[in-house]
């Protein structure tokens, strides 16, 4: 049985948090909200507990987890050799959606790092998450709380849909604010490398550390094993139109409608009236796409869409993180 407890993010109930912390202590699994997406937490220092995360998610063992901490002192339990550059980023962006890959301490459960000599760490900006980590008094390893290969959960209902009966508890703090996962930044080389774009942008990182690179080569991506897997995918096939016109979108949707049930997610509403067509219209802004994308993909799946047409947005600033997730979800991309 998975227990779901509603918690007010503005004033997390101490008793609910204590109950959740007790589960973490016993080596159990608790899903909790962060500012990005829901995480599936276990004691990061317990190998047995961390292994349960992989089993519950069906996650490949070679894909490492992010460790969540509630204060700067906790970082020293899991990471070594924190550079001045890393400290500057921590001062500026923690708590927040920035994950730093650092040299790992041997006390961290081995499977957290999936055999790598590094550990990914962040301090989430959500009062429920911070209260849970504080009460558990241990760093908490937490990947996104979805079954492997499914879109990340942005609500407790999404977590329950994927993990009911597989985890002990869900702390329901309502919908997450940002809606897509944190930026993952490798701090172990000479120049910081963005392994996964996120809400903290390349420009924001460069403003603190100067030069920053984007992982482009396959070799670099080997360092963030998660990015090798197909991610963020609904069951329906996703066709991404990077720069759409109304005319192109309408022609595409009408063509698919000859033989399929079609979902549309975008900011240019096609004028189509058909029982087999559903449209979800977003604002042409990264924040609206990020906040609603994963829920939209799940809804379209449940509505029985066999193909989902998604209209892209400008690939700049926060839009770069949104476009990264759209490209990963897509099985086909149309560029003009
Ligand atoms: O916003 C987020 O980051 C959410 C919330 C729950 O914090 N978490 C999340 O975790 O998205 P997950 O497991 O779904 O994604 C973790 C990413 C993967 O791409 C993984 O490969 C990468 O971080 N990662 C973890 N440890 C790493 C390491 N030591 N070196 C390189 N990449 C690492
Ligand atoms: Mg994930």
pLDDT tens for residues 156-165? 999 999 999 9
Q: Which residues of the chain carry a pLDDT beneath 50?
A: 218
- My answer on whether 76 and 185 are in the same domain is yes
Q: Which residues pair with 62 in a beta bridge?
A: none
The last residue of a domain, from among 197, 221, 245:
221
Q: Do 66 and 196 belong together in one domain?
A: yes
99 Cα nearest atom in ligand 1: 3
Q: What is the domain extent for residue 128?
A: 3-221
In this structure, are 277 and 321 located in the same domain?
yes
163 with 196, same domain: the answer is yes
Do 139 and 250 lie in a common domain?
A: no
Distance from CA of residue 122 to its chain's centroid? 13
DSSP strand pairing (307-311 vs 262-266): parallel
**pLDDT in the model for residue 232:** 67
Residue partners of 12: CB distance under 8 A and separation at least 6: 127, 128, 131, 173
Q: What distance lies between CA 237 and its chain's CA centroid?
A: 20
226 within some domain: no
Atom of ligand 1 nearest to the CA of 36: 1
| CA distances for 270 relative to 4, 281, 310, angstroms | 39, 10, 12
Q: Among all chains, which residue has been given the structure tokens 């926060």?
A: 318
Q: Do residues 48 and 169 share a domain?
A: yes
Expressed in angstroms and rounded, the spacing between residue 224 Cα and the centre of ligand 2 is 12
- The CATH number covering residue 263 comes to 3.40.50.11030
- Are residues 151 and 208 both part of a single domain? yes
Is 232 a domain residue? no
Residue 279 has phi, psi (to 5 degrees) of -125, 140
Cα 143 to averaged position of ligand 1 atoms, centre (Å) = 6
Does the C-beta of 181 come closer than 6 Å to ligand 1? yes
pLDDT digits (tens, 9 = 90+) for 42-84: 999 999 999 999 999 999 999 999 999 999 999 999 999 999 9
């Amino acid at each position: 049985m998975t227990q779901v407890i509603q918690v007010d993010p503005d004033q997390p109930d101490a008793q609910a948090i204590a109950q959740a912390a007790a589960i973490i202590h016993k080596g159990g699994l608790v899903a909790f909200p962060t500012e990005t997406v829901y995480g599936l937490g276990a004691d990061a220092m317990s190998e047995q507990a961390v292994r349960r995360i992989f089993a519950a998610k069906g996650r490949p063992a070679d894909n490492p987890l992010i460790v969540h901490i509630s204060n700067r002192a906790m970082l020293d339990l899991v990471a070594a050799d924190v550079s001045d550059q890393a400290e500057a980023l921590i001062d500026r962006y923690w708590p927040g959606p920035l994950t730093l890959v650092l040299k790992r301490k041997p006390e961290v459960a081995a499977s957290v790092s999936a055999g790598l000599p590094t550990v990914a760490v962040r301090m989430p900006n959500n009062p429920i998450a911070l209260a849970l980590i504080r009460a558990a008094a241990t760093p908490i390893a937490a990947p996104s709380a979805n079954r492997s290969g499914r879109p990340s959960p942005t609500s407790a209902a999404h977590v329950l849909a994927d993990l009911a009966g597989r985890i002990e508890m869900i702390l329901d703090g309502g919908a997450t604010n940002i809606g897509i996962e944190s930026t993952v930044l490798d701090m172990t080389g000479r120049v910081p490398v963005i392994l996964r774009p996120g809400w903290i942008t390349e420009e924001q990182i460069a403003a603190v550390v100067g030069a920053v690179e984007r992982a482009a080569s396959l070799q670099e991506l080997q360092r963030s094993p998660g990015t090798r897997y197909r991610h963020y995918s609904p069951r329906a096939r996703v066709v991404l139109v990077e720069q759409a016109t109304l005319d192109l979108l309408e022609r595409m949707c009408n063509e698919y409608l000859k033989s399929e049930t079609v979902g549309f997610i975008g900011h240019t509403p096609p004028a189509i009236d058909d029982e087999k067509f559903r449209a979800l219209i977003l604002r042409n802004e990264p924040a609206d796409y990020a906040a609603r994308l994963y829920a939209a993909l799940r809804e379209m799946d449940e509505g029985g869409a066999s193909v989902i047409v998604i209209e892209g947005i400008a690939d700049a600033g926060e839009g770069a993180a949104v476009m990264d997730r759209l490209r990963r979800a897509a099985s086909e991309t149309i560029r003009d």
